[in-house]
């Protein structure tokens, strides 16, 4: 017998003074409530309620035991809440991120998870590697480039992070034609074929067909650009380095597109992570 469940029926009927009203409050029909009260009385060996034409009243035993039943239910609720807090304090969420995700967004994800009572453990890798790790259960979820082949994982919304072009310092770049002598420093095509091809197609639409210079991270991109060999893209508004200038070219087709992927069942704190990705960093010192 589920004692707490039957005590909940008893308290509801006693407080409502009516079986039908108690059933409505509990989201049940009346017969199971009546049957539950009878089972509780049989279990305890005492009559708790009196049934009259006007409704339901308490017996002497019922009046004496009602406060204790309510206290037991309240204590059980507090016990459950405390257990959930302890569980949350020890929850570890394994999150993967692509190298191009700005540090601000990574910090926002980790901080959001911490505020929700868990601990984030991050792994930085390519989209292909992250998708494989989530599929294999080695990660709980990952922030990957879009588009990408992510089947059989579930996906969140696509988030567009504004990006700017990085060019060698002092070089006049007012239109795409000024980039024709430079290679494109970007993640290797093997890291995510779909996103790489989309970037190249977008540049070709602007009259460019650059040689791809593999640059797995923003650091690699900056090094190639500072050396005067290439141009690149970054979604990190705080990236400022010697030998590199930032210029605004194109539009949303060059934004960094990312999305959260996970393996069913849905990982806890998914909404927390997506809120961090779409957060507004303005006004944050």
Non-local CB neighbours of 147 within 8 Å, separated by 6+ positions: 194, 195, 198, 257
Residues 143 and 272 in one domain: yes
Residues 81 and 99 in one domain: no
Whether 284 is in a domain gets the answer no
Number of residues assigned to the chain: 285
Residues 212 and 230 in one domain: yes
Helix axes 3-16, 19-26, angle to 10 degrees: 120
Residues 79 and 41 in one domain: yes
Residues 97 and 168 in one domain: no
The predicted structure's pLDDT at residue 285: 40
Give pTM, 2 decimals.
0.68
Tell me how many domains the chain contains.
3
The predicted structure's pLDDT at residue 85: 62
Residue 190 sits in a domain of what CATH number?
A: 3.40.190.10
The predicted structure's pLDDT at residue 52: 79
What distance in Å separates the CA atoms of residue 198 and residue 27, rounded to the nearest whole number? Answer: 53
Sign of torsion over alpha carbons 61, 63, 67, 69: positive
Whether 285 is in a domain gets the answer no
Range of the domain at 151: 91-159+257-277
The predicted structure's pLDDT at residue 264: 79
Ordered per-residue pLDDT tens for the chain, 285 residues: 688 889 999 999 999 999 889 888 887 888 888 999 999 999 999 999 998 777 889 999 999 999 999 999 999 888 877 766 665 555 789 999 999 999 999 999 999 999 888 889 999 999 999 999 999 999 999 999 999 998 889 999 999 999 999 999 999 999 999 999 999 999 999 999 999 999 999 999 999 999 999 999 999 999 999 999 999 999 999 999 999 999 999 899 999 999 999 987 777 788 889 999 987 664 444
What distance in Å separates the CA atoms of residue 13 and residue 269, rounded to the nearest whole number? Answer: 38
Non-local CB neighbours of 37 within 8 Å, separated by 6+ positions: 6, 9, 10, 13, 48, 49
Helix (H, G, I), strand (E, B) or coil at 142: strand
What distance in Å separates the CA atoms of residue 111 and residue 277, rounded to the nearest whole number? Answer: 12
């Amino acid at each position: 017998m589920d004692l707490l469940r039957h005590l909940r029926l008893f308290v509801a009927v006693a407080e409502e003074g009516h079986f039908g009203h108690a059933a409505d409050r509990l989201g049940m029909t009346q017969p199971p409530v009546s049957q539950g009260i009878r089972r509780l009385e049989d279990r305890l060996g005492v009559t708790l309620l009196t049934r009259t034409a006007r409704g339901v009243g308490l017996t002497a035993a019922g009046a004496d035991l009602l406060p204790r039943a309510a206290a037991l239910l309240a204590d059980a609720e507090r016990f459950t809440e405390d257990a959930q807090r302890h569980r949350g304090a020890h929850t570890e969420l394994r999150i993967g991120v692509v190298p191009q995700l700005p540090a601000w967004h990574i910090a926002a994800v980790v901080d959001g998870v911490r505020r929700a009572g868990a601990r984030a453990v991050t792994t930085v890798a390519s989209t292909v590697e992250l998708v494989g790790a989530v599929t294999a259960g080695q990660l709980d979820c990952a922030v990957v480039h879009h588009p990408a082949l992510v089947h059989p994982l579930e996906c969140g919304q696509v988030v567009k992070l504004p990006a700017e072009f990085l060019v060698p310092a002092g070089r006049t770049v007012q239109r795409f034609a000024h980039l024709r002598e430079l290679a494109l420093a970007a993640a290797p095509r093997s890291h995510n074929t779909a996103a790489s091809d989309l970037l190249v197609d977008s540049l070709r639409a602007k009259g460019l067909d650059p040689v791809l210079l593999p640059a797995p991270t923003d650091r690699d991109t900056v090094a190639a650009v500072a050396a005067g060999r290439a141009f690149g893209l970054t979604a990190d508004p705080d990236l400022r380095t010697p030998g590199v200038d930032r210029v605004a070219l194109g539009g949303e087709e060059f934004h960094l597109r990312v999305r959260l992927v996970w393996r069913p069942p849905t990982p806890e704190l998914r909404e927390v992570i997506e809120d961090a990705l779409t957060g507004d960093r303005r006004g944050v010192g």
